[in-house]
């Protein structure tokens, strides 16, 4: 097996909030393979953006290691470090993204090219700006090159920020979709363009979203990682997870989502949670963090031991799940239901 | 007014047009919009951001911002066989109309609570401003509504807003919205920016409430799945106009307008295997100077010269399913060819 392009090993991250310590990520292990489609999903506050920032080196870990092409990024210095920072870019997919209102599209794209000396001289820079706009489908280029952000639609602004991330010729892009990103048509257009970029530019894309249907579309041939309260609870091939989710949380999520099809959505069976309250990160329950809400909770097991990701005993696939009853085989899981 | 409406129509919007006055020109946010709302039914307004959904709903309760101007149309409201035009209500009648007859829960309204007042004060104040001063009775009704939205009634009634999560606040607002037993409830993006499981809880609660309290709903959403799940009828809004209107199954399984079709083919599903999705090219028009003819024509695969010249009327082709398109036949043919 080839070296993963990015690997997180036992990554923890906490923040201080007043006198409290907030554990935002716990024991995250992910190996991102070169050119795979990987999607991180989960509800608000589960730690997706924090994971994205850690992947890009924008945020240090509190514990654990991040490797880029096999090298611990904490050990990178000088050129090596600069190369890593250029190679791994994050795009916040927010329609109200902060593009500098006083800069034209050409300014925004040429600045990083000049700063990192990525294009020879003035003429080379403009040539490259045109190529970038062409890559993100802002064509004809002439219509966009001199525009200011307020003259662009939300979707067009998004394309400009993608083009800006591409100036440094990254090999990994973390695309972090915010909840405020609402227009379906624009979202799909952007996603398709990024999927295209993978093939044209050899970039690996990690897509972060709260929308499982969109995750399914993006990572159909790749993997999905489901996060809950700072931990990965299930990770594996998208098609398996969508068809036959293993972790109770993933099952509940998939059953809860309405479908854009009146008959299907109205006949869908919803799994009821034991509790709708989401625990606060500062008051995480002992054992499995999902146990107070889990419909298959097993007393004296789930509230005692913290489950780790593993392939369940009875499983015919390689999907990893963090659930003790599942891990121990069907007897306990049945007993619990 | 010698008006007659069928008895099951609670609201009839007739040829409504609204502009926003701005320095750069008039924003034509609502253009000749007409629709009806039937007793006990849920109507969804769907469309992209900026298409004018919120503007329509604000007009219904006359809460438009100051720079808005209603340039034409009527909003007829019927209760007990009495019909009134909302646009002609006096200030006093209007106050009564809002909440008593037609309550609205605004977009992003989780932040609408006054942070220094406990929830019970907000219920009491609302009741009081409509002449209901018996606190014990208000409390009794409030607690039963909080229970209906599946909250712990006593705890929530005595809480400050910041003690509640986003989903709890949204449910409390729904309870507050129906406190005075309105006939119509307008919900602007009721689940947007909420988590999946919270969205599910809100949808279930809304269904329960509607079944038990028997009101009509107008809800606005960019989320087609929500419309599929909750609506009886769906209206597609594009550039300030209703371009398609019909029963929910007609809209989802047999759309007649290329824009609705485009929206539907751009949403991923969980049910199907790999989706074949297609985004709608281009972006929504500038509403200060919208395109001539059909406003969708610059983005439409079926458009021809007619479309750029003449604006298609919203017509009824097949019993109650209306679309504003010159080339519905082309859409149908292309869909048939693909199957
Ligand atoms: N700098 C910080 N200081 C304190 N807490 C933080 C900080 N950054 C994030 N958090 C907390 O960490 C948790 C995870 O945040 P994160 O932004 O990673 O979530 P997310 O999964 O991206 O959520 P969303 O879907 O809402 O974007 C949240 O509870 C958040 O409040
Ligand atoms: N006070 C205002 N002054 C000027 N223009 C306005 C005002 N309010 C809204 N508009 C414009 O009117 C149009 C319709 O806006 P509206 O808020 O009704 O859309 P919407 O469909 O609710 O959008 P969203 O999904 O983003 O909430 C938009 O072009 C918007 O920019
Ligand atoms: Mg985030
Ligand atoms: Mg709106």
Q: What is the pLDDT of residues A160-180, one digit of tens each?
A: 989 999 999 999 999 998 655
Question: How confident is the model over A54-64, as a mean pLDDT?
Answer: 96
What is the Cβ-side half-sphere exposure of residue A273, based on CA atoms within 13 angstroms? Answer: 21
Within 8 A of B275 by CB-CB distance, chain A residues are 216-217
Chain A, window 93-112: residues with a beta carbon less than 8 angstroms from a chain B beta carbon: 95
Q: What is the pLDDT of residue A156?
A: 85
What is the per-residue pLDDT for B262? 94
DSSP string covering B112-154: GS-TTS-HHHHHHHHHHTTT---HHHHHHHHHHHHHHTTS-HH
10-residue block means of pLDDT along chain B (339 residues)?
82 97 94 95 93 93 95 94 93 87 79 87 90 91 91 91 84 89 91 83 88 91 93 97 97 96 92 81 89 96 96 87 96 84
Report pLDDT for B189.
86
C-alpha of residue B26 to centroid of ligand 2, in Å: 12
What does the longest C-alpha to C-alpha distance in chain B come to? Answer: 66
Partner residue opposite A180 with nearest CB, options B193, B224, B262: B193
For residue A117, pLDDT beyond 60: yes
- The residue whose C-alpha atom lies closest to atom 25 belonging to ligand 2 is B49
Closest ligand 1 atom to residue A17 Cα is 4
Q: Do A182 and B267 touch (CB under 8 A)?
A: no
Please judge whether B266 and A210 are an interchain contact, meaning their C-beta atoms are less than 8 angstroms apart.
Answer: no
H or E segment at B56? Answer: helix B53-60
Q: Chain A 19-78, CB below 8 Å of chain B: which residues?
A: 43-44
pLDDT of residue B14: 96
Q: A334 at the B interface (CB within 8 A)? A: no
**Radius of gyration for the alpha carbons in chain B, expressed in angstroms and rounded:** 21
- Residue A208 Cα: closest atom of ligand 1: 22
Residue of A nearest to B283 (CA): A153
Is the pLDDT confidence value at A154 over 90? Answer: no
Q: Is A260's Cβ below 8 Å from some Cβ in B?
A: yes
Chain A, window 172-211: residues with a beta carbon less than 8 angstroms from a chain B beta carbon = 179-180, 182-189, 192, 210-211
Alpha-carbon distance of A23 to A21, in angstroms, equals: 6
Could you tell me the residue ranges of all domains in chain A?
A: 6-97+169-228, 245-335
Which tens digit of pLDDT belongs to each residue from A287-304? Answer: 999 999 999 999 999 999
| Chain B interface test: which of A177, A185, A188, A294 (most B C-beta within 10 Å) | A185
Give the three-class secondary structure for B317: strand
CA of B222 to the centre of ligand 3 (A): 20
Work out the percent of chain A whose per-residue pLDDT is above 90: 67
- Gyration radius (Cα) of chain A, Å: 21
DSSP β-bridge partners for residue A66? A8
A216 close contact with B: CB closer than 8 A: yes
CB contact under 8 A, A264 and B195: no
Tens digit of pLDDT for each residue in A297-334? Answer: 999 999 999 999 998 877 778 899 999 998 887 555 54
pLDDT at A83 over 50: yes
Q: Using CA atoms, how far apart are residues A111 and B223, in angstroms rounded to an integer?
A: 38
Q: Which percentage of chain A shows pLDDT scores above 70?
A: 94
Quick one: which of A38, A35, A31, A87 has its CA closest to A199? A35
| CB-based contact B225 A217, cutoff 8 Å | no
Indicate the length of chain A as a whole number: 337
Contacts of A213 in chain B (CB under 8 A): 267-270
Contacts of A266 in chain B (CB under 8 A): 228-229
Question: Do strands A6-17 and A20-32 pair parallel, antiparallel, or not at all (unpaired)?
Answer: antiparallel
Q: Contact A183/B48, CB-based, under 8 Å?
A: yes
Instruction: Retrieve residue B87's tokens.
Output: 């646009």
**Nearest-CA distance from B150 to chain A in Å?**
10
Task: Give contacts of B278 with chain A, Cβ < 8 Å.
Answer: 188
User: Do A179 and B193 lie within an 8 Å CB cutoff?
Assistant: yes
CB of A337 less than 8 A from some CB of B: no
Contact B263 A44 (CB under 8 A): no
pLDDT of residue B215: 92
* CATH code of domain A6-97+169-228: 3.40.50.300
Q: Which site among B270, B282, B285 would you substitute to test the A interface, given the most A Cβ atoms closer than 10 Å to its Cβ?
A: B270
Q: B52 C-alpha to center of ligand 2: Å?
A: 6
Whether A226 contacts A233, CB under 8 Å? yes
Question: Is the CB of B225 less than 8 angstroms away from the CB of A259?
Answer: yes
The pTM of this model reads 0.90
Contact at CB, A259 and B271, closer than 8 angstroms: yes
Residue A336 banded pLDDT, cuts 50, 70, 90: very low
Closest CA to A46 of B178, B213, B171, B196: B196
* Residues at CB less than 6 angstroms from ligand 1: A 15, 17, 22, 24, 42, 44-50, 179, 210, 281
Quote the ligand 3 centre to A154 CA distance (angstroms).
19
Task: Encode pLDDT of A221-259 as tens digits.
Answer: 999 999 999 999 999 999 999 999 999 999 999 999 999
ipTM summary value:
0.89
When pLDDT is cut at 50, 70 and 90, the band that residue A337 belongs to is very low
Q: How far is CA B286 from CA A146, A176, A183, in A?
A: 19, 28, 17
Average pLDDT value for residue range A186-210: 90
Q: What is the mean pLDDT of chain A?
A: 89
Ligand with minimal distance to B48 CA: 2
- Segment A14-18 long-range contacts (CB within 8 Å, at least 24 positions apart): A14/A62, A17/A282
């Amino acid at each position: 097996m080839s070296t993963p392009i990015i690997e997180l090993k036992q990554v923890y991250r906490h923040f201080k909030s007043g006198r409290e310590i907030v554990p935002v990520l716990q024991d995250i292990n992910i190996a991102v393979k070169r050119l795979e489609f990987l999607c991180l999903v989960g509800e608000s506050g589960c730690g997706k953006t924090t994971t994205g920032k850690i992947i890009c080196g924008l945020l240090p870990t509190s514990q654990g290691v991040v490797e880029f092409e096999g090298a611990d990024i904490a050990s990178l210095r000088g050129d090596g470090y600069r190369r890593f920072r250029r190679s791994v870019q994050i795009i916040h997919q927010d329609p109200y993204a902060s593009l500098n209102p006083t800069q034209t599209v050409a300014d925004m794209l040429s600045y990083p090219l000049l700063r990192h000396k990525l294009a020879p001289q003035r003429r080379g820079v403009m040539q490259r700006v045109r190529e970038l706009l062409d890559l993100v489908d802002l064509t004809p280029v002439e219509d966009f090159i001199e525009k200011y952000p307020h003259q662009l639609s939300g979707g067009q602004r998004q394309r400009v920020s993608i083009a800006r991330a591409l100036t440094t010729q990254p090999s990994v892009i973390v695309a972090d979709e915010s909840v405020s990103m609402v227009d379906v048509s624009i979202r799909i257009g952007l996603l398709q363009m990024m999927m295209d970029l993978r093939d044209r530019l050899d970039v690996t894309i990690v897509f972060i979203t709260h929308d499982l249907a969109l995750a399914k579309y993006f990572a159909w041939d790749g993997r999905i990682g489901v996060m809950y309260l700072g931990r990965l609870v299930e990770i594996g091939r998208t098609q398996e997870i969508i068809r036959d989710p293993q972790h109770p949380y993933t099952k509940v999520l998939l059953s809860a989502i309405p479908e854009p099809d009146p008959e299907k959505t109205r006949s869908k069976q919803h799994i009821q949670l034991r509790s709708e309250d989401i625990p606060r990160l500062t008051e995480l329950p002992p054992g499995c963090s999902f146990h107070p809400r889990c419909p298959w909770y097993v007393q004296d097991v789930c509230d005692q031991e913290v489950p780790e990701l593993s392939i369940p005993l009875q499983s015919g696939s390689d999907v990893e799940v963090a659930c003790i009853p599942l891990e121990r085989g069907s007897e306990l899981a049945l007993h619990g239901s | 007014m010698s008006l007659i409406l069928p008895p099951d129509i609670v609201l009839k919007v007739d040829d409504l047009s609204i502009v926003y006055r701005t320095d750069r020109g008039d924003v034509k946010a609502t253009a000749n919009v007409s629709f009806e709302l039937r007793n006990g039914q849920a109507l969804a307004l769907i469309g992209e951001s900026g298409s004018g959904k919120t503007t329509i709903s604000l007009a219904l309760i006359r809460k438009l911002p100051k720079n808005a101007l209603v340039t034409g149309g009527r909003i007829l409201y019927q209760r007990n066989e009495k019909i009134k035009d909302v646009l002609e209500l006096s200030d006093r009648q209007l106050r009564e109309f809002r909440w008593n007859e037609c309550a609205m829960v605004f977009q992003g309204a989780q932040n609408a609570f006054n942070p220094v007042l406990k929830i019970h004060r907000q219920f009491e104040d609302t009741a009081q401003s409509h002449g209901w001063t018996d606190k014990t009775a208000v409390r009794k009704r409030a607690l039963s509504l909080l229970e209906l939205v599946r909250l712990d009634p006593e705890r929530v009634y005595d809480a400050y807003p910041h003690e509640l999560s986003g989903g709890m606040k949204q449910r409390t607002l729904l309870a507050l919205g129906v406190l005075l037993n309105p006939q119509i409830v307008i919900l602007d993006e009721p689940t947007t920016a909420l988590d999946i499981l919270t969205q599910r809880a809100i949808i279930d609660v809304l269904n329960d409430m509607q079944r038990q309290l028997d009101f009509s709903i107008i809800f606005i959403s960019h989320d087609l799945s929500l419309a599929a799940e909750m609506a009886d009828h769906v209206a597609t809004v594009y550039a300030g106009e209703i371009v398609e209107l019909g029963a929910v199954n007609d809209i989802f399984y047999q759309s007649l307008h290329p824009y609705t079709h485009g929206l539907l083919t751009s949403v991923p599903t969980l049910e199907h295997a790999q989706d074949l999705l297609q985004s709608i090219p281009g972006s929504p028009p500038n509403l200060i100077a919208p395109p001539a003819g059909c406003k969708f024509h610059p983005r439409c695969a079926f458009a021809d010269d007619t479309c750029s010249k003449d604006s298609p009327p919203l017509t009824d082709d097949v019993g109650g399913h209306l679309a504003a398109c010159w080339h519905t036949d082309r859409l149908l043919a292309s869909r048939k060819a693909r199957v």
